[in-house]
């Protein structure tokens, strides 16, 4: 018996050493943690239960039969984050560069299947040289097996990817199909073809970081939701983020004790809207003053800053926030902001997370750039996402709600459940000056000014919309948190269903 235990311990120790001390040192020298160290930071202490520690590849080409490392380059299993179950895989760059063999893929598939069976999120820590070159097509098959599971898990259990090293070629498509991606600055990159191929094909010279680093993907492409300074920061952010997520589409949002009183009044909001409609103010301040303990976990802060998305809590329970940001491009809707918010709204809807929308939007951004790049199709994404969402939807119009953008931003007509406006709200087809210049074209400056004043007096308020029932109530700004909390209580048992269909056909 003791000999058996000794054998087990020997095998375990060998597996835990991965690709050996030299490669572990090399990993550390790059400022990266090892696969196991990462799991120690991500998961609650001593909660990790490993699976498939002894799995090895079965490749016999290129001398691989003599190079077997138990675990085969990926550490898989389950654990907890603040007591809640999560399934994880963590690619081990010290073992064949974390490259994906058929068995490595099989291990990832196994944890994904287990997560689906019990309804728990999956977090993948990616650090891999891509397909295991020695295995050829077996590795490609392995990737596709993972891809298929990403697709089937989408909307069933939350999937989060942390990119903590290379992630290139077709390998990018697994994270791309997960719900959220966090990237580590300077040590991670994602691209379909790397700088060398780019140089050969297009003659462009570009670094890995410029082509597909954390900043590129968090600002330009929006492939990544957050760029973090280092491994530790990324893993701790993932823990905080996880606390907002329900375990699956059949679970309620998590709830945690909250010291912030639900009916806290915030009088400073009564004066936050500047006297001139053209002056910006910071919507972040409105969010912080409304949410529990001022906490707003923002996603994609570096991309399409004219709209804010992220999670917060009201009475300890997760809410999804979508908010126009007047500080950037006056909060206008454009292609990027529409796409950014649409995907987030769909995530919230898939996972029963109520959506609170703060509106201050002057309309859609005009211009050939927007039109020629498809604002029609991309703007429709957000409209569609709100229109199909069946979760509780609360809307607060703080100032402008003009034109089509009024309709889009979770209006009553798109089944907004509770639509509130501050007294400073202006709900109209467009801004007064633009409107008057169209309907009174040719009038002199004085005439335009007089008509503008008339238009403002008539429409630059929430009461015309409220008189039609498009707004449920005009509320004091200071009571916003209280009204949202009451609204969410009221909507806790909301139940509506869309008509039966195989799936919808959102404009992609
Ligand atoms: C097998 C690999 C490997 C791979 C790296 N290694 N990538 N082994 N298959 N894909 C091994 C190396 O041989 C080396 O082994 C160890 O991992 C570390 O690699 P280094 O090159 O020393 O590390 P570094 O300098 O940091 O460079 C990392 C890297 C580079 C940029 C990822 O290794 C690289 O370019 N690898 C190949 C990438 C690639 O072309 N992959 C296939 C893409 S196609 P030793 O024993 O020396 O430690 C693809 C298709 C997927 O992925 C399609 C899905 C649909």
Q: What is residue 277's predicted lDDT score, i.e. its pLDDT?
A: 87
Q: What is the CATH number of domain 2-242?
A: 3.90.226.10
Place of tokens 């004091």: 476
H or E segment and range at residue 97: none
> What is the residue with the minimal CA distance to atom 32 of ligand 1?
129
pTM of the model: 0.96
Average pLDDT for 304-317: 98
Average pLDDT for 380-400: 98
Place of tokens 């969010």: 287
Domain boundaries, the chain: 2-242, 267-425+462-490, 431-460
From the candidate CATH numbers 3.90.226.10, 3.40.50.10490, 3.30.360.10, 3.40.50.300, the one assigned to the domain spanning 267-425+462-490: 3.90.226.10
Q: What is residue 272's predicted lDDT score, i.e. its pLDDT?
A: 98
**Is 144 labeled as catalytic in the residue annotation?**
no
Distance (Å) from CA 130 to ligand 1 centroid: 6
Strand-by-strand arrangement of the 49-51 sheet: 49-51, 74-81, 84-91, 122-126, 159-163, 180-184, 226-228
What is the Cα–Cα distance from 337 to 45, expressed in whole angstroms? 39
Catalytic residue among 35, 153, 401, 405, which?
A: 405
What is the Cα–Cα distance from 132 to 120, expressed in whole angstroms? 29
> What is the residue with the minimal CA distance to atom 1 of ligand 1?
132
Question: In the numeric block, which tokens belong to residue 3?
Answer: 């000999």
CATH topology agreement for domains 2-242 and 267-425+462-490: yes
Instruction: Indicate the pLDDT class of residue 21, thresholds 50, 70 and 90.
Output: very high
Q: Is 90 exceeded by the pLDDT of residue 397? A: yes
> What is the residue with the minimal CA distance to atom 34 of ligand 1?
129
Tell me: the pLDDT tens digits for 207-264? Answer: 999 999 999 999 999 999 999 999 999 999 999 999 999 999 999 999 999 999 999 9
Best CA proximity match to 159, nearest among 104, 193, 108, 215: 108
Q: Is 90 exceeded by the pLDDT of residue 455? A: no
Residues of the chain with pLDDT > 70, as a percent, come to 100
Best CA proximity match to 431, nearest among 456, 408, 407, 411: 456
Q: Is 90 exceeded by the pLDDT of residue 489? A: yes
């Amino acid at each position: 018996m003791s000999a058996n235990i000794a054998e087990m311990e020997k095998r375990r120790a060998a597996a835990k050493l991965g690709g050996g001390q030299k490669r572990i040192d090399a990993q550390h020298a790059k400022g990266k943690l090892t696969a196991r160290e990462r799991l120690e930071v991500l998961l609650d202490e001593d909660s990790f239960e490993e699976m498939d520690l002894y799995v090895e590849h079965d490749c016999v080409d290129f001398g691989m039969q003599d190079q077997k490392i138990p675990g085969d380059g990926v550490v898989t299993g389950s654990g907890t984050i603040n007591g809640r179950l999560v399934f994880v895989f963590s690619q081990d760059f010290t073992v064949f560069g974390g490259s994906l063999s058929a068995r490595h893929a099989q291990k990832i598939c196994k944890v994904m299947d287990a997560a689906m069976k019990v309804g728990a999120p999956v977090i993948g820590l990616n650090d891999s040289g891509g397909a295991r070159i020695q295995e050829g097509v077996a590795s490609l098959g392995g990737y596709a097996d993972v891809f298929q599971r990403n697709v089937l898990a989408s909307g069933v259990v939350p999937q989060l990817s942390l990119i903590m090293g290379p992630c290139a070629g077709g390998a990018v498509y697994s994270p791309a199909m997960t719900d959220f991606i966090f990237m580590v600055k300077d040590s991670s990159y994602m691209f379909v073809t790397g700088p060398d191929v780019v140089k050969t094909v297009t003659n462009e010279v570009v670094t890995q970081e410029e082509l597909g680093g954390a900043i590129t993907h968090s600002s330009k492409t929006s492939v990544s939701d957050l760029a973090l300074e280092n491994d530790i920061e990324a893993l701790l952010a993932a823990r905080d983020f996880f606390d907002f997520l329900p375990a699956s589409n059949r679970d309620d949002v998590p709830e945690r004790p909250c010291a912030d009183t639900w009916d806290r009044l915030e009088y400073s909001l009564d004066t936050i809207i500047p006297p001139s409609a053209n002056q910006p103010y910071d919507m972040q301040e409105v969010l912080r003053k409304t949410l529990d303990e001022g906490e707003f976990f923002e996603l994609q802060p570096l991309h399409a800053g004219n709209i804010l998305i992220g999670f917060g809590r009201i009475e300890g329970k997760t809410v999804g926030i979508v908010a126009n940001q007047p500080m950037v491009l006056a909060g206008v809707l454009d292609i990027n902001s529409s796409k950014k918010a649409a995907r987030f709204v769909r995530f919230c809807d898939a996972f029963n997370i109520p959506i609170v929308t703060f509106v201050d939007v002057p309309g859609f951004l005009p211009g050939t750039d927007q039109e020629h790049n498809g604002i029609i199709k991309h703007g429709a994404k957000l409209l569609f996402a709100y229109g199909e969402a069946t979760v509780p939807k609360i809307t607060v119009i703080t100032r402008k709600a003009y034109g089509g953008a009024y309709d889009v931003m979770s209006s009553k007509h798109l089944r907004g459940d509770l639509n509130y406006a501050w007294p400073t709200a202006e709900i109209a087809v467009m801004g007064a000056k633009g409107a008057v210049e169209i309907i009174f074209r040719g009038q002199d400056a004085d005439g335009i000014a007089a008509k503008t004043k008339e238009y403002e007096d008539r429409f630059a308020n929430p009461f015309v919309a409220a008189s039609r029932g498009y707004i449920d109530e005009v509320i004091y700004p200071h009571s916003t948190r209280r009204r949202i909390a009451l609204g969410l209580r009221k909507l806790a048992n909301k139940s509506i269903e869309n008509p039966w269909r195989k799936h919808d056909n959102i404009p992609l």
